[in-house]
Structure 1
């Protein structure tokens, strides 16, 4: 009888102990030599993983998600040469990765999200030569990356969002297959000198890196494959002219309380979002012939109410440029002088916020509009011409404190709008 059980254990490929709430220690794994998947999820009292786990030479998936009191992995864990995937727990307790962690030669993805209890990565992590994705999102306890990260030749995605990382190592320039860097919501002050060497980089996300400065920013101009660049809500004071050299850039998000001028931009852009304390005028974007989405915003102190007096008293002459005719979405916030709409035949969504106008007249140029949002326009009294918008299905009038009348949301041909929101 015992021999038959042993034989079955030797052939077992999946062991799922999910929710074994009283389990404090795993069994001896020496009899599970064929095991490929080990699931210990939600074993909330598990404190010890038996060192014999190192004998599972065929193990590919290891899941300890929800193991709230587990504090470490055994040193023998590094012997799992076939391991491809680790699903880690999310909790605030201290957790230690073994020094042998870098011996996991087959590991392709390591997601350590929302684990503030981990204070550092082992130096051996650079030996994970097949790792394609490393995510430390929310790991606020990790302050720096080992320089050995530059040895991870297959790494394609690095997510440091909301982590405690304060600096990117120069060795990041050795990651020739890296395509995505996410460092949003961190205190990183500058890009490394070698950022321009990450030649295959397609996405660079640095949103709300409030401490980010201009240092080494021009090196981004070497990233000829860059498609997405998000440097919104940062301490950057000026954007280098080399942005215009990024011939494949499609999405650009940039904003700063210090932004003074708009650089030359590549004609490849399809999505552009810019925020600044003030725009002397609507920037000349006529060269952006592929632009589909445009959002321009004036940053105010509270980000809630516009400074109407400042906009009305501006003595600086303002130029009005035609916007690209390719636009389907236009969003303007706090912009004093509106651009002409006569060439925007493809426009389907328009949002205007915090504009000091008393009247917003609808013309036939906007006949294709499906969504119209007029918000926080404190002086707006009338909106004549709404009946012209035959394709309109969403009308959002929010906090129009001076609005006197609106009676053209309905007509005999169309009936009521699918969505009409009026709030004062």
Structure 2
């Protein structure tokens, strides 16, 4: 049974109607208040939110982390609830697709356990707050020199884990599974996009102009964070004699405009207008690295059986990364794209079983009805 998307192009909320603009405005405003409430009206907005919104989570915050509730605890709680609630919706919608069930359960587990409960419990036990599902370059501060000095003690072991995940686990896992092991199974950004954002995936821009823009933005952002990290280390090793305040100012600029504005305010606030993977597609430096590894080294690909394709266009329509999947199917070409996150929705919505997600010698056939593993 193909997931029901009837009427998605005609509903105001999912076709850039009035409801969509209203939701986009509300989400954007929420992000602005959470991220920058202390800078608005001399901090009055932050004080109001603390008294009337964040305070409702006081008992939960004290129980989980032994601290008063603030905007970041509120944000993490709201984010996790959204992933769990809309994840349950995904499980129902794709209940006949085993791959989607396992993948959705994975992002729910990682968000709840590794991005919410564990970091807060670490704080409760007087340890550094650490998010095990994020690491450099998506979480660049984990490799900044002053972070290592600040963490100290047992926190250094967490940072070593982050470095291991960035430079050892990432290439190995991507070689075997493609970028989907992270972007569609672990990452909280992708988790929100594939749960709360599922209703808006068809809004992603499929034009060649969008593809060119994608390449023009995502790789320079990766280059920028590499430069920022290198400059910070050079400055640290030379006691600030080389760059002075410049490297720190550049890191702060990156954190504000890329980390907050792009990935947060725009990345989520514009779901109802531009689709769900805006940040992942156009800005995420982690996605850029994984994409390059996927194209050059990985066994992962989506194979096509073009002889069965009826050109319905479902695969292209519901590709959240804006890939024209149908064109590959019609030309009987394997899909090996840096931007593909291996979410498998193209396979799930195909009425003819044309698309298969495969990893090298170990073939994983993911259709609407089953997962079949065979050896080539």
Report the TM-score range of the alignment, normalised by the length of the smaller protein: under 0.3
Higher relative contact order (CA closer than 8 Å, sequence separation 6+):
2
| Bigger helix fraction | 2
Bigger CA radius of gyration: 1
With normalisation by structure 1, the TM-score equals 0.23
